[in-house]
Chain A
Amino acid sequence: MTVAPVEKVLPEQQPQKTRPQPQHQSPPAGRAERHMVSAGWAFSAPSLLVVAGVMVFPIVFSVVMSLSNVNATVSGFHLSGLTFDNYSILFHADRYWHSLYFTVLYTIGTVFAEIIAGMLIALVLERLKSGRGWMMTLLLMPWAIVSVISAELWDYIYNGVYGVLNAALSPLFGHDINVLGTPLGATVGMAVADIWKTTPFVAVIILAGLVMLPGDVMEAGRMDGANGWQIFWHIRFPLMRPTLSIAVMFRILQAFGLFDLPYVLTNGGPGNSTESLALLGYQVLFVDLKFGPGAAVATSTAVIVLIGCLLFLKVFRSQVGQEEI
């Protein structure tokens, strides 16, 4: 597996005028240079140690646990042997495949909807002459709200007896509407709650990117007789790629780790129709206390996310047919 496409995201990969260039410094700078290097390590060591100790260790442990026979006793954990049993249990379980299918479908659906809607909202707001600042503030609210709270809010809105959605729709249908009662309704209902919370934030990111675009390129396009759509598709959209790819990556990551929303809204139901991989991992680890298979769910989720992001970057890059993203 190559990491090259991810590296492309980092600004480090683009030629930076500001990058320090040791070779241009005069010879006496040698000691100063060494001094700078040790200062650099002194500055970054605390952070790197914390991340290594509290993130890297758990990640490695999680992967090792998924490949071992785990014996959980009162005195602690005993890992033994190298085995693929944990994974083979998963791969033979319908529940795992359904959860994978649900998570992938949900991620693709919500991220697609959020990026399109976010783009449209950003384009509308860009034309707004005044009050853009207030709009930004309003748009940042759903993002900053605790996701458990937004899940409770939508649970209340969808309530089949006194929910406001039921109050609005039941006269039309002649019976009570319980959105979360069917697998399809629960999935769509959850996606709507997600779209409500995240689209405004995506719009803010895209708007921030749009505002930064150089105006003269679009002016040149207009002079050449391009219409609004052509200017958007051929000039602005390609220029927006870096912003968009970052936004999409973040959304893929978040959507794939989906936990809070189903935990509160549906608890994975009805049946296990809305059980995401993260929720399944939590259930297996902390409810069923099956640590090996639980770690396998978690690790496989991470690997799929990684592959998904790399694939996305590759496709997105080759489709636009240019080098830098």
Chain B
Amino acid sequence: MNGTNLSVLLVVLFVSLPLYWLVATSLKGTREVATANLFPHAPTGSQYSTAFSTYDFGTYIETSVIVAVATTVLVLLLGIGAGYALGRLPLRGRNGIMVSLLMISLFPAVALAAPLYLLMRGIGWLNSYQGLILAYTAMTLPFAIWILRNYFISIPKEMEEVARMDGASPLRTVVSVILPQATPGIFTAGIFTFVASWTEFLIALTLNSEDRYRTIPVGIALFGGQFTTPYGTIFAASTVAMLPIALLVLVFRRAVVSGLTAGAVKG
């Protein structure tokens, strides 16, 4: 085995051993969770059923899916228009707007938590889907616009100009010329938005305190009582929560990487 392969093996172990530990523990019975057995001696699905019966994990999944999907769709709808306009259309003050968006995305979430709480309380959207969706849409939009705009300006302009000569409206141009070419960038923005809304914790913790509207991260963090942490159940729930993300990454790996290249290198 040469140096490269050995280093790759080390990297693989470093990344995957904790993940293995998570899944292995989720298959142990409650008594065995309190040991450091490397393999589950008597694999059981009991932790999984506990997550769904003793705790409301099904509800948390429902909330997370609704919020993350709705946020992603909204952000893409809004962000594609804005990204195109700020990248390609002759708007005065485009630079200023892009810099402001960057500045806004620098602001730490903890500073937004209190005023967002008041805002949502004011319009009666505490403990709701729409409150979280609106908050996440606003929080993830600046970064999505950034990725999309960088992708749009990397697309050659010729076809767009031909369409314009033919008298196509800007909206028509975006739909039939830009969108088909920008799919990788759109996937990237979509995945980043989805992952950000799926994993967000602080704002979800502050805005939605009722069990009915808790998301997966908040639900998992609040599993168990004050003095016990039911690790087995937590990891069973975590394994379930990891699946859609793992699938997403597996299917859209290329989009993530190519979008990053466009976003990071060109940026």
Contact = CB atoms under 8 A, between A and B. Distances in A.
Interface stretch (A39-47, A225-233, A314-322): A39-47
A243 to B, nearest CB: 5
A97 interface: no
A57 B118 CA distance: 11
A44 B86 contact: yes
A18 B155 CA distance: 9
Given A149-B220, A212-B261, A135 B8 contact: yes
A145 B79 contact: no
A11 B153 contact: yes
B81 A55 contact: no
B265 A55 contact: no
Given A12-B95, A62-B112, A242-B265, A140 B256 contact: yes
A311 interface: no
Interface residues of A, number: 112
Contacts of B16: 138
Interface string A266-291: 00000000000110011001100001
Contacts of A9: 102, 267
Interface in B105-125: 106-116, 118-119
Interface residues of B, number: 105
B138 A10 contact: no
A300 B4 CA distance: 45
Interface in A143-177: 143-150, 152-157, 161-164, 166-168
Considering residues A127, A135, A208, which has the most beta carbons from chain B within 10 angstroms of its beta carbon?
A: A208
A205 B260 contact: yes
B162 interface: no
Interface in B93-107: 94-95, 97-99, 101-104, 106-107
A144 B195 contact: yes
A235 interface: no
B65 to A, nearest CB: 14
Contact of B145 (A18, A47, A138, A256): A47
Interface of B: 4, 7-8, 11-12, 14-16, 18-19, 21-22, 25, 33-36, 38, 78-79, 81-82, 84-86, 88-92, 94-95, 97-99, 101-104, 106-116, 118-119, 134-135, 137-139, 141-142, 145, 150, 153-154, 156-157, 164, 169-171, 174, 195, 198-199, 201-202, 206, 216-218, 220-221, 229, 231, 234-235, 238, 241-242, 245-246, 248-250, 253-254, 256-258, 260-261, 263-267
Interface of A: 3, 6-7, 9-13, 16, 18-20, 22, 32-33, 35-37, 39-44, 46-48, 50-51, 53-59, 61-62, 65, 77, 120-121, 124-125, 127-128, 133, 135-150, 152-157, 161-164, 166-168, 196, 200, 204-205, 208-209, 211-212, 242-243, 246-247, 253, 256-257, 259-260, 263-264, 277-278, 281-282, 285-286, 291, 294-295, 297-299, 301-302, 305-306, 309
